[in-house]
Structures are given as C-alpha cells and as structure tokens.
Structure 1
Amino acid sequence: MAPVTDRPTAEDVRAPRLLVLEAGVSAGAAILRAAAALGVETYVATHPQMHANYSPELKQLTTGTLCPDFTDATAALDELTAFCHRAEIDGVLACWEFLTPLAARLSAGLGLPGHDPVRAPACRNKRLMSEVFTAHDVPAPQTVAARDPGALARLAHEAGLTYPLVVKPAENAASIGVSVVSDPDHLPDAVRRAGAEAHKLPHGIALDTTLLAQEYIKGPEFSVETLVVRGEVQHVAVTEKFTTGGADRAETGHTVPAALPSGMRQAILDAAGRAVTALGLRDGPSHTEIKLTADGRPYVIEVGARPPGDGIMGLVAEATGVDQARACVETALGVRPDLTPRHHRAAAIRFLFAPHAGTLSRVDVPLRSGHVKEVSVTAVPGDELSAPRDNLQRLGHIILRGMTADEVNDAAAQALAQVQVVMK
C-alpha cells in the first residue's frame, strides 16, 4: 500500500529516514520529537483507526504513513519491505511491543540494525521468554503454561508452585489479564481474565492465548532501561516501580533513579544484562522488569524489546541528562549514541486512578509548583470510570523532580495527598 501521506525531500538534501512501527503509544511522541530534532524523516506504520486518533503533533512530525494488514504477519512484512526499499529507509524502530518481532524480521531482511529475528518472538511471548530464561540460567520466576485452567492447576501443583500464584496471559501488556491469586478458589476467575483477549485491536494481531502460572516473587519492583548497541549492553537507568496491591497489579508510578545500595543495583543490572543477551537483543532499546527479594536476589519478570513507556524516558532525561529517545533513534540508524550522564538528579511520575467504579464528578489536583513539574488530567466530569485493574484505567498523572530519589518520592507522596477524585 502506498503511503497515505508523502512529503518527499529534495534529492540533494538526503535526510536519514526512519520507519517507526506504531507511534500512537506512550513512547511514540518522544521518539518522533527526537527524530525531528536530528533532522530525520520519520515514516509510521500504523492502523487507520489508530492513525485517526493521532494528535496534531504526531501527524505533523510524521513524513509519511502506511497501513499494512497486521493480521497477516507475512503479508505485512512483504509490504513493509517493499516500502522500505522504495523509500530508502535507513532504520526501523518498534515503539509498540506487539510489533517488535515484525520489526526484528524487517530490519534483518533489510540489513539494518535490529534484534535477532529468530529469538524476537520470545521478547513478546512470555511463555517462550520463560523457556529462554530457563535455558540460559537467567534468574526468573518458575513458570508453567497450559491451555485450560485444569491443566494449569495440575502443572503448577506438579512443579511445586504454591499460592499465591501470578496468573497471566502469554501475550499482552499494560498488566492486562494479570492477577495475583491467593488460593485455588480464585483461580478460575484469574484464568478467565488472562484468556479474555485473543486479538490486539484495532490492529487485529492474534495473541497466544496460552495461560501462565508463575511463582510469586515478594518484594519491590524495578525496571532497567537499556540500549544494546552492536551487541554491547549499556544500561541507562534503574527505575523504581510502584503498583497496586491485592489481586491486581496496575502500575501507579515510577521514580528515576531507584534508591538502592550499590550491591543491589549491580545485581539488578547483571540480571537484566543476562536476560537481554539471552533474548538476542543486539541493536536497540529494552525495558526489563525485575523484582528484588528481601535477601537481595533479583528475578527477571519480563523484557520488552522497545523503548520504555509511561514517560520513563522523560524521567531519565530529567534525572541524568541522557536523551534516551534520541539514543533509540540513533541506534536504529546505526549511529552509536552518547549515553554519558550529564548530571545526577531525580524525577518521578505518579498516575491518578478512580477510587472505585462510577461516574466522575471532579478531580482536585495540586498546583504546578516546587517539585511538581507537570499535572495532567485526561478524564472529564461525567466520564464513566473503572476501578484500577490494569494500566488502562488511569485518569491523569503528576510529574515531579528533585535532587534525590528520597526527596522526589516524599514530594510525590505529598502531591498525591492533595489529589481528590470525587465520584457520583
């Protein structure tokens, strides 16, 4: 399919050209802004329904747009390959994790920087990921997989897994379908949630509906933001993650850097490095989620072969001066990025949720002052809201900055204490 829009540059001013696989996600705007700042022409592969909801800024930053049929991965690959040859694309970058295997196959076929296409499916499918981690001795929760709840319960028992268990789908994101199951009576409901989504809409990408039961790791959660450049693993930051408790695990915020003793930080970085190497990441970003036990042992929960979302790249820039979005673009184009920290500060984001399901009456938030850099509320009075079960129920966020992680975490707690979400 030919580009929906096309603004070619003059032949004598050949700018680098980047193809982004879906920019209408959390990291998309930052990537497109970084590409524009570098003078890069950016084309986007998306879905018509998704593209219709792009902001004016995203559309302005996009040189051209095409909409392959993502329901057929082989046909999409053929169409994207032909487009890249016609448009003389110099780099491929997936912002959306559901398209990371396609991006790896595309870049490999074009001879462009990217991750190993053979192992790329394991970066998206948590069943395959678990198998890779086991084969390469990556510290990770013990995991069993099955197609139905009876088989899942039997395999968990045979593996010696005890409650609480984590039940999740093999393929999804944003904590969708993830439950912490406290006893066997709650397993059927958790299994229904995990298997509720068979296709990722609107793109129509088929999801592996295999069910996973996983050892529950008690302890704080972190993520490691990494750039792999020509096979060299370069960690940019360790992020502290905050989630809801109980059966659900919606992410409620992040802080960069995580306040950790040097030994624990190094253990987390070592585990992340082993994970991304095992998964065949060789040119591009990764976002590795890790839990740390009370005795300091890291367990890799999962790896995303994509830029981090949730505004984390902005937190990294605020805390370290490293422009991670620019580094992602440069790596995709075969340019070695400069990941040298410019300073050592701290930044945080906290997400707003409704206290329970109902109709929103109003949201009171703190003013932008002091540590509070940005306040955004996306819901409006009259909206029907759900209680937080995953990351899709957020209704706004607060971004804060400070000199240390402890300082910014204290400021975040004070800011959240001023938030009032009133429901009818």
Structure 2
Amino acid sequence: MEAYDINSSPCLLVIGAREHTLQKLKTMNIRFVLIQSQHDSITTSLEAQIVFIDTYDNLSELSRIAKQLHQIHHFRAVVSFTEFGLYPAALIAKQLNIRGNAVFPVKYTRDKFKMRSLLKKHQLDSIAYQRCTTLEDVVAFYTKINAPFILKPTHGAGSQGVCYVDSLENIPNAWDWAIQHGNQELIAEEYLLGKEYSVESLSLDRQHQVIAITAKLTTGFPHFIELGHHSPAKLTPKLQQKIQQLILRFLDIIQHLNGPAHTEIKVHKDEIKIIESQTRMGGDQIWELTELTTGVDTISKTVLHLLGLSQNTTTKKANAAAVLFFAREFEEILDIHGLDSANNLPGIVRIDCTLKKGQKLGKLSSSLSRQGYILGTGSTIDEAISSVSFAMEHVQITTKAHID
C-alpha cells in the first residue's frame, strides 16, 4: 500500500548538502528530505528526514531510494549543491519527472574532456588538450605542443591532482601526483597565461544571469591551490562586459537549465579563456562573498524557483568582501594565539580555523588540506583585503619544521 504525505507545502529532495545549505533551508522554512553520504558529516540539528548512504556513485541504489521516498513525500524538485551529488540529482529529476537541473550540463561540466570537446565544437575554445590514460599519452602530448601544460583528473575537484608540467623530466612526478587524487583518467591542457578569475552565475529555466566576478590568489606552480579570493574583481567595464558575454554564451552551449554555475577563467591581454566550470555555486566561501556584495543568494533563489514559491527580496551587505585561507604545510603547531581578538577586528565577518597546538601538518595537497579561513568586508576592495590580511597577521602561530 502506498503511503501519502498529507503536508500541503512542497517538498524538496536534496542529494548531498553542506552545513550552510541546510541552515539556509531551515531559515527559509523549506520542507526537505536529505540523502547524504555517511562520509559527509552533519552537525546541524534538523527537523528533516535524512537517509545516509555509502557513496553518491551507486546510482542504481540512489535512484531506488529516491523513488521510494517520492512515493511518500511527492517531491516537487531535487537539488544538489555539492560536487558529487550534482549528476545523481539531475538523473533523479529526469527519472521522477520533477524539477531540477538537466543531465546534459552536469555531464558536460563534471567531465573536463567532454567540456573541452563541446567548447571546441562551438568554436569557443582554441587551446590544446588531450585525454591521457597512460604515461606515454602525457609524453606524447608534451612532445606535440612543446609548451607548458596542466595535468589533472578528468573528474577532479578542489585543486586535487592538479600539476604544472614544463619539461619531460617533470612528467613522471606529475603523473604520480594526478593519479593519487583520482583514477588514471586524466586531461592534459595547454597552460594559459594571465590572471585567474571565477564567474558566478544563476540560471532559472535557461534564463542566465552573471552575478559576480571574483579574483583569486593561488600558491602558483605547480599545484595552484587557492589561498584567497576577493569580490568584486577589479576589471574595466569593457572587460566585465566581455566576460559576461562569454559566460552567457557558454551557459547556452552547456544547456544549463536551473541553478548556479561557477566558471573559472583566465584573462591575458583582454583575451578570455575558460578553464573549467561546475553547475553549483563557488566553494571556498565564494558563494558568501557573492551574497555579501550583491545580495543574491543563489541557493535560495534556485530552491524557491524550483518549488514555485515567491522570491525573497535581498540587498547587499557590503561593497566588497575577501577571504584568506590558513594554508600551512610541513609544520608542527607549537602554539596559537589571537583568534578571538582577530575575530573582533573591524570588517571581520568570521574566522574559522582548525589549527591546534600539537597538530602536525604535511604537504598542502589540495583545497581540502587547508586549515580554515578569515572572511571580511570593506567599503572598497582594498579595504576588504586589508581587513583580512591584518586579521591573519594578528593570529600568532608558533611552529617548528615537520617533515611528513
């Protein structure tokens, strides 16, 4: 006998969530059911049904669970704002015939080789690239282009497995680094010169809007792990318009249907190249920088749109915002002071730091190995950057060398 949900408010199925996403849904009073990997911990107290699974990769099991839950809750829509829940959510939207994002845009952005091929087909990409499944493939690519390139996992995320290569001698180490963070399905891409930015956008029923352009700071060669971001980026109006036009065309090409997108680009001498894109909001608190400086909450807007509920009016809270990460490596933490006082400095929104006395840190291998962040705002970009930089200097960390 089929069970029925007698609650009249629309119900949302969520495939994988972060703490901040769940807090937003709670604040919005959205009724939802969460399917969550047991490896992604949740500390938020929820008045919601949660089904824990081992992995998002088992699509048949996920579909079975979603269908059973749908018989009870009659979901109106399904979403995921996490990297590895995006494809399952799009697939379930199609299977259950409910609202969500389409499979095509997720499929063609999660797979970096597919995305490059699609861009080439639409004449939006002119860089050299190649799928590499063996060390010999990588050597052949370098021999062909005779120029520096980036080697990374085809389905990677969070700077995992990214490595810069500028000689034949570097290739074995780069190969080992890349396959440590994924399988042996890699992509080699010509290295692009220029400054790196990320573009935050929102699509509602294929109506696209560029929300913000954010500048970034990385560790540079060879792994390019992100150390900070600030928004809005300092760009001329002409360049901003050029970036917006490119991104809007890109979103049309990937057929992005519903939800945010986070697209990484490089700008060199007014030439703009797309690095990669994800059909989710930007991580690294970029979603929060965007919300603070534009007033646009892409999570809320997506959810309300999919559920057919009226949109909230929002206003920006700051002209500019910046985030800096604790990104230490090869150190033992002997002592740490000043976190509380730094948190109370002007312009500081939040300090989230996991560093503790006695902690031993190895190599900084990806975004996941950083140790927290300082988020701040200002009336100008320079003021926002200055606020978080001063707060970072205010935190006193005593260390000694540690060889992992």
* TM norm structure 2: 0.90
Contact map agreement 1:228 1:281 (CA 8 A) in 2? yes
Task: Work out whether residues 226 and 234 of structure 1, in 8 Å CA contact, stay in contact via their aligned partners in 2.
Answer: yes
Report the more deviating stretch, 328-337 or 392-401: 328-337
Name the Cα RMSD after superposition. Answer: 2.4
Q: Return the match for 1:408 from 370, 376, 384.
A: 384
What CA distance in whole angstroms lies between the structure 2 residues aligned with 1:192 and 1:331?
A: 44
* Alignment pair present for 1:162 and 2:150: no
Shift of 1:290: 1.0
With over 3 angstroms needed to count, the CA separation of the structure-2 counterparts of 1:48 and 1:98, relative to structure 1, is closer
In the alignment, which residue of structure 2 is the partner of 1:290?
265
Instruction: Call closer, same or farther: CA 1:417–1:66 in 2, change over 3 Å.
Output: closer
Match of 1:190 in 2: 174
What is aligned with 1:323?
Answer: 297
Offset at 1:114? Answer: 2.6
Deviations 1:336-378 (A, max 9, x none): 7468755661111110111x31322223453421122222211
Change (3 A) 1:384 1:113: same
The offset of 1:111, in angstroms, is: 2.5
CA separation in 1, counterparts of 2:20 and 2:386? 27
Question: Counterpart amino acid of 2:234?
Answer: A
CA distance in 1, matches of 2:116, 2:106: 13
User: Are 1:32 and 1:61, in contact at CA under 8 Å, matched by a contact in 2?
Assistant: no
Structure 1 contact 287–308 (Cα < 8 Å) conserved: yes
Is the contact made by 1:170 and 1:209 (CA closer than 8 Å) also made in structure 2?
A: no
Does residue 255 of structure 2 align to residue 280 of structure 1? yes
- DSSP-derived class of the 2:180 partner: coil
Aligned counterparts of 1:184 and 1:129: Cα–Cα separation in 2? 27
Shift of 1:76: 2.1
Cα deviation, 1:106-142, whole Å, max 9, x if unaligned, reads: 1122232333314532221111111111112224643
| Count of matched residue pairs | 395
CA distance in 2, matches of 1:10, 1:125: 37
Aligned counterpart in structure 2 of residue 350 of structure 1, from 305, 308, 324: 324
SS in 2 for 1:246: coil
> Structure 1 residues 277 and 386, CA, compared in 2 at 3 Å: closer, same or farther?
farther
Whether the aligned pair in 1 keeps the contact of 2:106 and 2:278 (CA below 8 Å) is: no
**1:244: which partner in 2?**
219
AA in 1 matched with 2:361: L
Which residue of the other structure, out of 332, 335, 356, is the alignment partner of 1:362? 335
Shift of 1:81: 2.8
Query: Could you list the runs of 5+ residues in structure 2 that have no partner in the other structure?
Result: none
Query: Cα offset for 1:177?
Result: 0.3
User: Which position in structure 2 is the counterpart of 1:37?
Assistant: 27
Cα deviation, 1:65-100, whole Å, max 9, x if unaligned, reads: 342763432332233233223321122111211221
- Residue 391 of structure 1 deviates from its aligned partner by 0.6
* Separation in structure 2 between the aligned mates of residue 388 and residue 69 of structure 1, nearest angstrom: 26
> Do the aligned residues in 2 keep the contact of 1:166 with 1:214 (CA within 8 Å)?
yes
Partner of 2:46: 60
Q: Which residue of 2 aligns with 1:221?
A: 196
Question: What is the CA distance between 1:277 and its match in structure 2?
Answer: 2.0
Residue pair 1:374, 1:398 contacting (<8 A) in 2 also: yes
Alignment partners' CA distance in 2, 1:112 and 1:416: 46
Describe the shift of the 1:271–1:339 C-alpha distance in structure 2 as closer, same or farther (beyond 3 A): farther
1:84 pairs with one of 70, 77, 86: 70
TM-score, normalised by the number of residues in structure 1 = 0.86
How many Å apart are 1:231 and its aligned residue? 0.6
Q: Tell me which of the two structures has the higher relative contact order, counting C-alpha pairs closer than 8 angstroms and 6 or more residues apart.
A: 1
Q: Per the alignment, do residues 218 and 60 of structure 1 end up closer, same or farther by CA in structure 2, a change over 3 Å counting?
A: same
2:34 and 2:50 in contact (8 A); partners too: yes
Q: Distance in 2 between matches of 1:224 and 1:336?
A: 26
Q: Determine which of 330, 350, 366 is the counterpart of 1:390.
A: 366
Cα distance in structure 2, aligned partners of 1:72 and 1:289: 29
Q: 2:128 aligns with which of 124, 142, 154?
A: 142
% identity of equivalent residues? 24
SS of residue in 2 equivalent to 1:137: coil
